[in-house]
Structure 1
Amino acid sequence: MLTKLTILKSLSPFSFHSRFIPKSFSSGVAAQELDEEPLPSEWYRIAYGKLIKLTHVLKNIEQVNGRTTNTIDGSTITDDYIIGQMQSFNSLAKSFIGSPSMQSIHGDFFVKGSERSSLTLNSLTKVCNFLSIFTQHHIWRGALEEVLRDLEREIDTLGSRSEPFQMGKQIISSCMKFFRDVDTISSSDSPSWMKPPPLNRVEKPVAPRTWEEVVEMFVDLTKCLEREEKLATRVLKLEAMKEGLYQIRDITIERDVSYKEVRRQDCLVQRKLSKSLGHSSRCLFTLLLYYLHGSVEDVVFEVHGGVRVDDHGRFCLYIGKILSCRDEGMVMNGVKQLSKALGVFKFVWESAGMVGVLKLRGHLWCVGGEERIIAYRGNEFYVHGIRL
């Protein structure tokens, strides 16, 4: 693992954009350096009418980390027509964000096509030694369970009774049972050496268990669902967590052992994961998300912006989100989603001891919205109205 001193020596503040944040953040920028030509005013007039119509079609529907969801019950929408309409809405909205009229509102930010492209935050290229705390045993197990719970909810939403889906649910059930057994062993109210021996009862010896069992279940689960296109993002998360499981597969998890032995096993898990997971590890990033937010979904935002230095020498990270309507609940949902992404960047920046202040700014756009600023968890979020 890199130490803070090593990072400070090798990375200047000016290298943050290209070397310190996830590689996907800067990918594609070189290919679209030139500003796009403004579209004719007639095009904007026709497109704006289309946007108005789409806001009615997409009422109570929003994008959450790349998924099209129903705001009423939080369910994932799988209807191809609705998903297509959401994609059309986002595409048209991005053209308006880059228009000359919008520059008068947010300056020359988001002018380049590359700045208006979406970004999935799913890995880190550089992390410092401080991030090794995410491999603590309870965080590791909790993240694995959350991955499986998310997958199970997605399968239930799709409602398919096909053989792969049914087999997948059985494997998930077996995996969760394993975690319950592990929890019984390592989270007992009192260690086994403090418990009185059983009276006049001979218990059958329980065979020792290892994390190899979970590796096998994750492998089978991946094979079972890898052809299901609508579960692609969930399967990628399974693949990411397999990376860590392979590192600890030989660690034994035994019943009825001393409290000291339980702690030793937990330390082995932490040590192996801390040593083995690389800087570009998606598994490590999943553990980071679980540590910061208690969730494991990759963070997705529609407009990825960039990093600039303002007049006061502060580094300004700006990202954005497109909303399908100006409903206050949807606006706040968007603010919270951007806040998660901004929080990840800030955490990594501060953990590495980077020189300079990182100023975080989120932008949200909705048709007909009023220009305003929302303060949330110490950051500023600018709400912009898309209009002719």
Structure 2
Amino acid sequence: MKIFRQVNSHYQVPNPLRVKKFTGSVHIDAISNHSTSSEWCIRTFPKLIKLSHLLKGLDLINERLVNVENKCVVDDEFLTLSMRAFKSTGTAFVMQNMRTCVNKPAYKEPFDVNSLKKICDVLCVSAQQRKLVRLAICPQVTQHQIWTGALMEILNQLEIEMKVKDYGCITKGFNMGRQIVVNCLRFLDDVTSYDPDSASWMWLTPKKDADSPPSAKWADLLEMFNDLINCLKNDHEFLLYVIKLEIMKEGLLQIKDVLVDKNIGYKEALHQQSLVQKKLTKSLGHSSRCLFTLLLYYLYGSIQDIDLDICCWFSEDVAGDKVYLCVGKIMTSDDDKMMMHVVKQLDRVLGVIKFVHEMAEMKEILEIQGHLWCVGSKSKSLAYRGHNFFIHGISLE
């Protein structure tokens, strides 16, 4: 069953896209006055065709080559380098042929959307507005259940990947890492075992004696994270998770002295949970990838960063009160699996951009669109979760 529906045939693409470059294939004659660019496109197009066939069904996600059909990581250096060349060349090809209708490219090359700062840069949010954005977002995404949920999501995904690893290649470090993941999840299970809706009288403060173990702190999880990173840092398959663990260490360092022992009693537990939110809110800035990871989990329950190949502004409409932002991806194929995969990615990007735009209280009306390009694809429009997506062919016609 498809996750999107095709927009009715009478749907009209907004004014900035009602130009020759965006009504079908990308046309070289749009830049006929620039012979050097035209010649480059003619020389480049056969390379794009060759790479699209070689890489069919693959995509680059968080610096890892992934088979979209089965979600498996493809550990092949040659194919990974080929994919980077395909993305970079395809982006340059498309940008060359659409520049006459582009007001301003936000980024000229493929890039990771991995911080609030990058979103604010795309939206041209002023310094004063950025302060408003941070003050509005931080208290929401640093809530105790969001913080612990994001940590558990990372560890759960890592545990799943470790279970499917080739058992013939298991190392001492891998075995130790797997045990650390189990201990980390057990730690978080204890942290999240409180029921904030239960009556306070049910949470009796335990009696302490000389034999009682010392109260646990977030520093204990930080220490486990350091050990886990050391165990996995040389294993290419787990590089993404090593990066994510490093990212979340930023938050752990800020709250390392906060208690998490479930035996400290109801009022003290609520106080410690409140401290987590206050310390994270105060310390995580615009450039923090930890903050952005929490934002993604808050909005979508996901901890994966987002990759974009194209991001650019179109000219304002005649009235001047609306601006158009295009975010897009270059695809190696246009089958349903690939389009579903890319549309979901772009939908998250559009949602985050819209959310930040609203938090910044910007005056202009923002129209955001997702665009997908593929060699030889037919032009069509799709709608998914309230967002419009446009598929374009790349050709020399």
Normalised by the length of structure 2, the TM-score is 0.76
Note if contact 2:101-2:315 (Cα within 8 Å) is conserved in structure 1. no
* SS in structure 2 of the partner of residue 348 of structure 1: helix
Residue 166 of structure 1 aligns with an amino acid whose one-letter code is N
Q: Which amino acid aligns with 1:123?
A: S
Question: Do the aligned residues in 1 keep the contact of 2:55 with 2:83 (CA within 8 Å)?
Answer: yes
Query: Is 1:60–1:70's contact at 8 Å kept on the other side of the alignment?
Result: yes
- The equivalences for 1:61-100 within 5 A come to 61-99=58-96
Q: CA deviation at 1:257?
A: 4.4
Counterparts of 1:292-307 in structure 2, within 5 Å, are 292-306=299-313
CA distance in 1, matches of 2:272, 2:266: 10
2:390 maps to what in 1? 382
User: 1:364: which partner in 2?
Assistant: 372
Shift of 1:153: 4.2
1:260 shift after superposition: 2.9
Q: Is residue 247 of structure 1 aligned with residue 247 of structure 2?
A: no
1:292 deviates by 0.8
> What is the CA-CA distance between 1:50 and the residue it aligns to?
4.0
Once the two structures are TM-superposed, the CA of residue 83 in structure 1 deviates from its matched residue by: 1.9
User: Is the alpha carbon distance of 1:255 and 1:116 closer, same or farther for their aligned partners in structure 2, counting shifts above 3 Å?
Assistant: closer
Cα contact 2:102–2:315 (8 A) shared by 1: no
Which deviates more from structure 2 when the two are superposed, residues 128-137 or residues 57-66?
57-66
Deviations 1:98-157 (A, max 9, x none): 34xx44xx8533997x84411111112333311121110000001111222333445556
Offset, 1:384: 0.3
Between the aligned partners of 2:171 and 2:93, the Cα distance in structure 1 is 43
**1:107-256 residue pairs with structure 2 within 5 A?**
107-109=100-102, 115-125=107-117, 126=130, 127-131=133-137, 132-155=139-162, 159=166, 160-184=169-193, 186-187=194-195, 190=198, 193-194=201-202, 205-229=212-236, 231-256=238-263
Query: Which amino acid in the other structure matches residue 186 of structure 2?
Result: K
How far apart are the structure 1 equivalents of 2:147 and 2:35? Answer: 45
Q: Residue 338 of structure 2 aligns with which residue?
A: 330
For 2:230, what is the secondary structure of its paired residue?
Answer: helix
Instruction: Render the CA deviation track for 1:71-114: whole Å, top value 9, x for unaligned.
Output: 22211111223323323332442343134xx44xx8533997x8
Deviation of 1:315 after TM superposition, in Å, equals: 2.3
User: Structure 1 residues 344 and 377, CA, compared in 2 at 3 Å: closer, same or farther?
Assistant: same
Q: What is the one-letter code of the residue matched to 2:187?
A: F
Instruction: State percent identity of aligned pairs.
Output: 40
**Corresponding residue number in structure 2 for 1:16:** none
| Alpha carbons 1:76, 1:157 under 8 Å: kept | no
Q: 2:52 aligns with which of 48, 55, 64?
A: 55
Distance 1:145 1:110 in 2: 42
* Corresponding residue SS for 2:101: coil
Partners in 2 of 1:140 and 1:213 — Cα distance?
A: 16
* Deviation (angstroms), 1:62: 2.5
| Correspondence 1:244-283 to 2 at 5 A | 244-283=251-290
Partner of 2:14: none
The one-letter code matched in structure 2 to 1:38 is S
Amino acid at match of 1:108: C
- Give the aligned partner of residue 125 of structure 2: none
Flag the 1:109–1:37 CA change in 2: closer, same or farther, 3 A: farther
Over 3 Å counting, the alpha-carbon distance change for 1:381 and 1:116 in structure 2 is farther
The Cα of 1:383 is off from its aligned counterpart by 0.7
Change (3 A) 1:87 1:260: same
Take 2:165 and 2:75, find their aligned partners in 1: how far apart are those partners?
7
CA distances 1:346-375 after superposition (whole Å, capped 9, x unpaired): 111101211111110121101111112222
Q: 1:281 to 1:98 in 2, by over 3 A?
A: closer
Q: Conserved in 2, the CA contact under 8 Å of 1:305 and 1:320?
A: no
How far apart are residue 158 of structure 1 and its match? 5.5
Aligned amino acid, residue 129 of structure 1: L
Aligned residue type for 2:58: I
**Offset at residue 36 of structure 1 (A):** 10
Q: In 1, Cα distance between the equivalents of 2:265 and 2:237? A: 45
| Number of residue equivalences | 342
The answer as to whether partners of 1:193 and 1:258 remain within 8 angstroms in 2 is no
TM-score by structure 1 length? 0.78
Q: Deviations over 1:156-188 (max 9, x none)?
A: 56644233333322221211111122223x138
* CA deviations over 1:202-240 (Å, ceiling 9, x no partner): 9x8454211110111112223333344554443232122
Residue 298 of structure 1 and its aligned partner are, at CA, apart by 1.2
**In 2, are the aligned partners of 1:136 and 1:270 still within 8 Å (CA)?**
yes
Does the aligned pair in 1 maintain the 2:68–2:341 contact within 8 Å? no
Give the unaligned 5+ runs of structure 2. Answer: 1-33, 118-129
Tell me which residue corresponds to 2:4.
Answer: none
Distance in structure 1 (CA, Å) of the matches to 2:284 and 2:314: 28
Q: Aligned to 1:209, what secondary structure does the other structure show? A: coil
Partner-residue secondary structure (3-state), 1:40: helix
* Partner-residue secondary structure (3-state), 2:115: coil
